[in-house]
């Protein structure tokens, strides 16, 4: 997209900052972030940063004034935090999301929201299509499902162009911190020569999708006529955690042992996206295989 004024909430975070990077050369980009987990150094130079909380209507109003599109990526992304403190995560993940949708109505702006594979819980079929049953297993999943449904409803009720993108397991540069996901954990362990900790038997599978493919899905969502829909954003390929451990150990030429520890309570056994709707309707075609994505992470390219 070109010559638009856009707001990226959570634009200093992992996915939001990559999106800001991609948009900045050809658009006027604003970022709203409270830097609770995001980092200022992630934000490109030619972007207007509003330091503020997405829960704060005044900050949001300032950041959203006159925008054409809002990419809503501000969230408490930790599933375990949402289990420990459901109301606190609900305030950011759902209450603030409603503020964003309302603000978009005021501005007559398109909204692309970050939804999640968490809406499916234990998927009722594999690969899981968008039409499958939604049965989240955490407050985080309930919050993302409600957001995803509100986005659809705002299109139906108020004719607001909205798109919900259901991300599967995202990975890539700048993913860090205690809740950052298995790939960044394994990479750190392998680089430090420490044991790579597989939880459970390691035969559980995930659909790992590189952040640059996620950015491409967002850019498609920014222009599609097929609004009011949710789209899976994955690769369609599932990889076991055991395979992942080996790929990472090989790519880093690490001598870390691969060890097993207790499995995570309530862990999803298998997760994988049916991306046929996303391909057909958004023209989305993931480009980065897991091997390639991990190699580029290791090489820092």
Q: CB under 6 A: which stretch of 54-62, 92-100, 104-112, 194-202 binds ligand UD2?
A: 194-202
User: Is 31 within 8 Å of 11 (Cβ atoms)?
Assistant: yes
* Binds ligand UD2 by CB under 6 A, chosen from 19, 64, 74, 182: 182
- Distance in angstroms between the alpha carbons of the first and the last residue of the chain: 25
Question: CA 131 → CA 113, 147, 151, 214, 276, distances in Å?
Answer: 18, 16, 16, 21, 12
Tokens of 149: 């449904």
The yes or no reply on residue 197 touching ligand UD2 (CB under 6 A) is yes
The yes or no reply on residue 67 touching ligand UD2 (CB under 6 A) is no
- To the query of whether residue 140 is one of the catalytic residues in this protein, the response is yes
Out of 140, 150, 154, 167, pick the active-site residue. 140
Closest-by-Cβ residue to ligand UD2 is 181
Nearer to ligand UD2, 109 or 170 (CB): 170
The yes or no reply on residue 83 touching ligand UD2 (CB under 6 A) is no
Question: Among 189, 284, 180, which Cα is nearest to 234's?
Answer: 284
Could you tell me the smallest distance in angstroms from the CB atom of residue 234 to ligand UD2? 11
Question: Of residues 226-255, which lie at the interface with ligand UD2 (CB under 6 A)?
Answer: 241
User: Is 20 within 8 Å of 8 (Cβ atoms)?
Assistant: yes
The yes or no reply on residue 222 touching ligand UD2 (CB under 6 A) is no
The yes or no reply on residue 147 touching ligand UD2 (CB under 6 A) is no
* Binds ligand UD2 by CB under 6 A, chosen from 70, 151, 170, 230: 170
The yes or no reply on residue 268 touching ligand UD2 (CB under 6 A) is yes
The yes or no reply on residue 185 touching ligand UD2 (CB under 6 A) is yes
# residues contacting ligand UD2 (CB under 6 A):
20
What is d(CA 281, CA 202) in angstroms, rounded to the nearest whole number?
Answer: 34
Tokens of 30: 């604003």
Nearer to ligand UD2, 50 or 268 (CB): 268
Could you tell me the smallest distance in angstroms from the CB atom of residue 181 to ligand UD2? 3
What is d(CA 184, CA 216) in angstroms, rounded to the nearest whole number?
Answer: 22
The yes or no reply on residue 118 touching ligand UD2 (CB under 6 A) is yes
Question: Among 170, 236, 238, which Cα is nearest to 205's?
Answer: 238
Could you tell me the smallest distance in angstroms from the CB atom of residue 268 to ligand UD2? 5
Question: Among 133, 142, 163, which Cα is nearest to 233's?
Answer: 163
User: Is 231 within 8 Å of 284 (Cβ atoms)?
Assistant: yes
Could you tell me the smallest distance in angstroms from the CB atom of residue 206 to ligand UD2? 5
Helices (H), 32-138: 57-64, 79-84, 86-90, 96-107
Question: Among 219, 212, 206, which Cα is nearest to 174's?
Answer: 212
The yes or no reply on residue 79 touching ligand UD2 (CB under 6 A) is yes
Residues that bind ligand UD2 (CB under 6 A): 77, 79, 116-118, 169-170, 181-182, 185, 197-199, 204, 206, 241, 264, 267-268, 271
| Active site positions, annotated | 140
């Amino acid at each position: 997209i070109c010559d638009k004024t856009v707001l990226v909430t959570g634009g200093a975070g992992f996915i939001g900052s990559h999106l800001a990077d991609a948009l900045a050369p050809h658009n006027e980009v604003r970022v709203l972030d409270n830097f609770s987990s995001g980092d200022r150094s992630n934000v490109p130079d030619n972007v207007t940063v509003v330091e503020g909380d997405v829960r704060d209507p005044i900050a949001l109003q300032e950041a959203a004034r006159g925008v054409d599109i809002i990419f809503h990526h501000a969230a408490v992304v930790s599933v375990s935090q949402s289990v420990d403190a459901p109301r606190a995560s609900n305030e950011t993940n759902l209450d603030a999301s409603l503020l964003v949708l309302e603000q978009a109505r005021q501005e007559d702006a398109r909204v692309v929201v970050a939804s999640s594979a968490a809406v499916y819980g234990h998927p009722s079929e594999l690969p899981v299509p968008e039409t499958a049953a939604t049965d989240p297993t955490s407050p985080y999943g309930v919050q993302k499902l409600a957001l995803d449904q509100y986005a659809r409803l705002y299109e139906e009720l108020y004719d607001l162009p909205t798109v919900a993108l259901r991300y599967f397991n995202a990975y890539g540069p700048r993913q860090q911190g205690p809740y950052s996901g298995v790939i960044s954990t394994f990479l750190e362990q392998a680089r430090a020569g420490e044991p790579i900790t597989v939880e459970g038997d390691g035969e559980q599978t995930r659909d790992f999708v590189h952040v640059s493919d996620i950015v491409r899905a967002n850019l498609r969502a920014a222009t599609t006529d097929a609004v009011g829909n949710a789209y899976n954003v994955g690769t369609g390929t599932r990889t076991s955690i055991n395979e992942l451990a080996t790929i990472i150990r090989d790519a880093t030429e690490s001598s870390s042992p691969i060890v097993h520890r207790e499995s995570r309570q309530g862990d999803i056994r298998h997760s994988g996206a049916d991306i046929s709707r996303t391909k057909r309707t958004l023209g989305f075609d993931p480009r980065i295989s897991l091997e390639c994505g991990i190699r580029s992470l290791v090489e820092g390219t």
